[in-house]
Every structure is written in C-alpha cells, then in structure tokens.
Structure 1
Amino acid sequence: MTAHALTIEGLRVEAIHPHGRTALVDGVSLTLHAGEVLALVGASGSGKSMTCAACLDVLPPGTRRVAGSVAIDGNVRTAFELRGRQVASILQNPRTAFNPVRSMREHVGESLRAIGRRGADARAEVTQAMRDAGLDDPERVLGLFPFEMSGGMLQRMMIALALVSRAPFIFADEPTTDLDLIVQREILDLLDRLKGERGLGILLVTHDMGVVARLADRVAVMEHGRIIETGGVMEIFHAPQHAVTRSLVAAHLSLYGLEDVA
C-alpha cells in the first residue's frame, strides 16, 4: 500500500553535558505528504538536521531523543522500520557517504542486503534507478570508485540508491550545497521530476531560500529548535509573519537588489 503521510509529533532532542541538559529540538511537529516538498529552513544550528537525525535514530554522540514519535499514515514506526524502508536519506556532501575503497557495485550490494533485496529483479531495478537519476551508463558507473566520480555523479548515485529502497519519503539534507551552480540546478530539476513521477514526499533541509523558491510546496521555519512558522511557499515569500522568516526572505531578496520584506 502506498504511504500518504509521514507525521512527526512532539519531537524533543537534548544534549547531555556535565551541567545538565539542553534542548536542541523542542516540541517539533510536522506532516509531510506524498508528492510534496516540505522545506525545513532556518539559520545554521536551528535544529533542522538534528530533527531528521532524531527521526531516524542517527543522532551524534552526546545527544538523544527524549520525546516524540514518527508515524506513517497514523501508525507509529520505530527508527529501524523507517530507515531505508519508509525514509531514504540524501546527504549534504555525497563524498562522505561512500567508502572510498569500495566500488559503486559494492555499495549497491550492501544497500540491497540492508533492506533484504536480492536477485535479478533487484539488479534490474538498480539499473533503472540509476538511469532515472541521470546516470546514463549504469554498468560503467557501477565499476567506479568514489574518487573516480564527480560530486554531481555521487549525488545522483545517492539518489539512485534512495529510489531502489522504494521508500515513499526522502529526507534531503542540504542536497546541493557542495555542488557547482549548474549541477545544483540539475539535481533540483531531478528531485522535482522524481517527486512528480514517483509521488515522493521530500523533506528538504536547507538554508538557501533560492532552493526553497525553486522546489518547495510548503515551508516550515525553525529557530532555536522550534517551528516558528509554516505556510505555502508563496505565503512565506510574500507575507511572512515571523521576524526570523522576514529576515530569511529579505536576505534572499537582497542578493537580487530587491527591497526588504516589510
């Protein structure tokens, strides 16, 4: 059955230190629908990436999720049930996501084993996913090592692995930050196309309001670990309500010599 919505409810993450605890994510609740891009925006350190990591139980040492749940169509799921099955991840720097001494074929094999997929059908699906992700010669690419590939190729490979998982939702954490402008545009176009063709729900973590304007359907703004404003992308750009949102939009507009948001 196709999933229709992923719901994060009451998520709280704390850092544990000698003097006590500090909330890094505090009471975050969001719903991501199939076939939409929900942009999670805010300044560095506002809790965007931590929110995604907490949902999938991949938090850094010294932090832990102390409250909250993640549900698929109303059914609460564990992080193990979500990772690679209901939610696939696309990371900021694709070069750090691949073992430099293992070929793409080895990475694909490991990914398939992790989700219990094998056989000729799985291999054929890998080939198709790579083509869908813009890798036109899958057999050649599978023989390559990460150091033989550009950042754009590695990002496309990561997207292909996300497609092979058949996960209905993707967490894309700053997926274009380390790419040049032309490749950034190509990756954004690719994600937009896949959203439409496959009905994927994409949680897009970014601080780049240009990326938000290009790709997002809805926007959630974070500040100090909390969601302070949500709305449609046009609403956020043309009628932001919170001072932080106005600052983000104004900073973006200033790049083009436009007036600040009132």
Structure 2
Amino acid sequence: MSHQTLNLVDIAVDAGAIRLVDGVSLTLARGEVVALVGASGSGKSLTCAAALDALPAGTRRQGGQVWLDGAPIAPERLRGRVVASVLQNPRSAFNPVRTLGDHAEETLQALGMEKSCWKERIHRALREAGLDEPQRLLGLYPFEMSGGMLQRAMIALALASEAPFLFADEPTTDLDVIHQREILDLLAGLRERFGLGILLITHDMGVVARLADRVLVMDQGCVQESAPVEAIFRQPRHAVTRALVAAHLSLYPAQEITP
C-alpha cells in the first residue's frame, strides 16, 4: 500500500456575489478517515464538489487547488481515478430505466478500461461491497433494489475504479438504522482492507464517532475547528462544535462516543 496524500488547499466557492465556501483546506492520507462536519448549508458538500469540479449550476469555484503527493492535479484526473464518490441519496443517483449492469458498464467505459476486464472487475467489486450473486444483481433496475442494496451498489462502482480515495457524502442519511450500521461497518472494513483514504461528509456525530480519525467542523463556509475525533467530543472548543456534540448527546445520552 502506498502512502499517498491528498491536499485541498484554499477552496473557495461563490454563487454570484455570495461567498459560500471561503478558503477551506484539508489533508487526507490513505488509510485515514477525515470527517467534514457541520449543519446543512455549512459548505461541506460544496467543498468536495469544488475539488472535483462538479459544482451545481449557479456556483463557481473562485479559488483553491488540489494536490496529490505534493504536486497539483487537475479535477479531470481526480474524478473516478484518484477520488471515487458515494452520494447521500442512492436512489436518486441511479437512472431508473437502466439496470445496474448498464451503470457499471458506463462507469468502466468512462475509466477507459478494456472491455474484456469489465465482468471480472465489477463482479469482484460487488462482492467486496457485500453483494452476492453479482450476475443476477446486474440485471436489476433500481426500483427492484432496497436503499441499502443501492448504497452498496454505489460503493461497488466506486471500488471498481480502484481509486485510492473516497469522498462519501452523507452515506447513511436515507437508510434505516440496520442498514446504516451495515454501511458503516462496510466502509470501516474497506478502509482496513484496501487502505482507502475516506473524506466523510456528514452532520451525524454518531457516524463521526464510529469512523473518523480527525474532524473538521464547518460553519458559514469556513473551517471553525480541526482536531482528532476524541478531542472533538471531549473538549470541543468552538461554539458550533459544542452545539453539534450537545445535540448528539441529547439524542443518545448513553452512547459511547469516543473511539
């Protein structure tokens, strides 16, 4: 396993004259989970979208650079090759009139992979994501799959790219508690087996406690606090961090929150 490091430096995003993300920087190493947390609208997802040049209409990156192992790298070289992505609503991420096999072929074709390798690669990735009977699953449409299966399928497509880093944007938000735990266990296992560097975008401090090594807390487009996960829970410094931790403890007062 290589010791690759990804750096997002001074990422800034505007919507017209409004600054939505202002100078966000972070470092992510292989085998590490960094959580980017904050309330809805704090700029978490926009930061990652800007790094990959995948911003929604009406927004534009106004500054910043991504570096891989100390050298700048263009967004088109990042997407799907260095960084794979998992989105928060798996059902909306799949075309409802195309099978999982169609999506897999589109993904592998975009990566420029030899067609003779497609079947072996996607079958292996589906099994690595905890989905048995890959041949049967590839013939299914999204409406024939549960939310948990679709989230695993999205993770499988990310694994098929063999990218060393994964941006996971609210990967458990739309799942029931059983499937949430299964997906978190899966991500933890993939990190251990493949040395994935995972940037976890979430507002759920329970997810942070379960997976993260380090935490960056965002508010109003800026990073307000950065610390190891245990320090975030035991000694939160910023008011926003304290509010996030307090909200979590009010819902789960008896939960073990430290690693």
TM range (shorter): over 0.9
- The answer to whether residue 48 in structure 2 is matched with residue 71 in structure 1 is no
Mapped to 1, the partners of 2:67 and 2:38 lie a distance apart of: 24
Q: Is residue 2:219 matched to residue 1:223?
A: yes
| TM-score, length basis structure 2 | 0.96
Instruction: Note the C-alpha offset of 1:99.
Output: 0.7
1:75 deviates by 1.3
1:15 corresponding residue in structure 2? 15
Aligned-residue CA RMSD (Å): 1.1
Deviation of the 1:3 alpha carbon: 5.6
Q: For each residue in 1:98-153, what CA deviation from the matched residue of structure 2 results, as whole angstroms up to 9, or x when unmatched?
A: 11111111111100010001233332121111001010110000010111000111
Question: 1:105-254 residue pairs with structure 2 within 5 A?
Answer: 105-254=101-250
> Offset at 1:56?
0.8
Secondary structure of the residue aligned to 2:162 is coil
Please state whether the residue corresponding to 2:149 is helix, strand or coil. helix
- 2:5 corresponds in structure 1 to 5
Over 6 Å off, 4+ runs? none
**Contact residue 213 and residue 229 of structure 2 kept, 8 A:** yes
Runs of 5+ consecutive residues of structure 2 not aligned to the other structure: 255-259
Q: Which amino acid is the alignment partner of residue 60 of structure 1?
A: P
SS of structure 1 residue aligned to 2:217: strand
Query: Which residue of structure 2 aligns with residue 61 of structure 1?
Result: 57
Comparing 241-250 and 121-130, the one that deviates more? 121-130
User: What residue in structure 1 maps to residue 257 of structure 2?
Assistant: none
Distance across 1 between alignment mates of 2:81 and 2:167: 12
Identity %: 63
For residues 256 and 109 of structure 1, the distance between their equivalents in structure 2, rounded to whole angstroms, comes to: 42
Alpha-carbon separation, structure 2, partners of 1:229 and 1:182: 31
Kindly indicate whether the alpha-carbon contact (under 8 Å) linking 2:105 and 2:118 is maintained by their aligned counterparts in 1.
no
Work out which of the residue numbers 87, 92, 117 in structure 1 matches 2:83: 87
> Partners in 2 of 1:105 and 1:257 — Cα distance?
44
**8 A contact 1:46–1:223 mirrored in 2:** yes
Contact 1:3 1:72 in 2 (8 A): no
Cα distance in 2 for partners of 1:49, 1:225 equals 10
Secondary structure class of the residue paired with 2:77: helix
State TM-score, norm by structure 1: 0.95
Q: Is the 8 A contact 1:10 1:68 kept in 2?
A: yes
Aligned residues: 254
Q: Which amino acid aligns with 1:180?
A: D
Helix, strand or coil for the counterpart of 1:188? helix
For residues 192 and 26 of structure 1, the distance between their equivalents in structure 2, rounded to whole angstroms, comes to 31
Give the superposition deviation at 1:164.
Answer: 0.6
CA contact (8 A) 1:3 1:168 kept: no
**Alpha-carbon distance in structure 1 between the residues aligned to 2:165 and 2:121:** 18
- Alpha-carbon deviations, 1:10-32, whole Å to 9, x = none? 1110011xxxx111000100001
**Residue 256 (structure 1) shift:** 2.7
Distance 2:129 2:248 in 1: 29
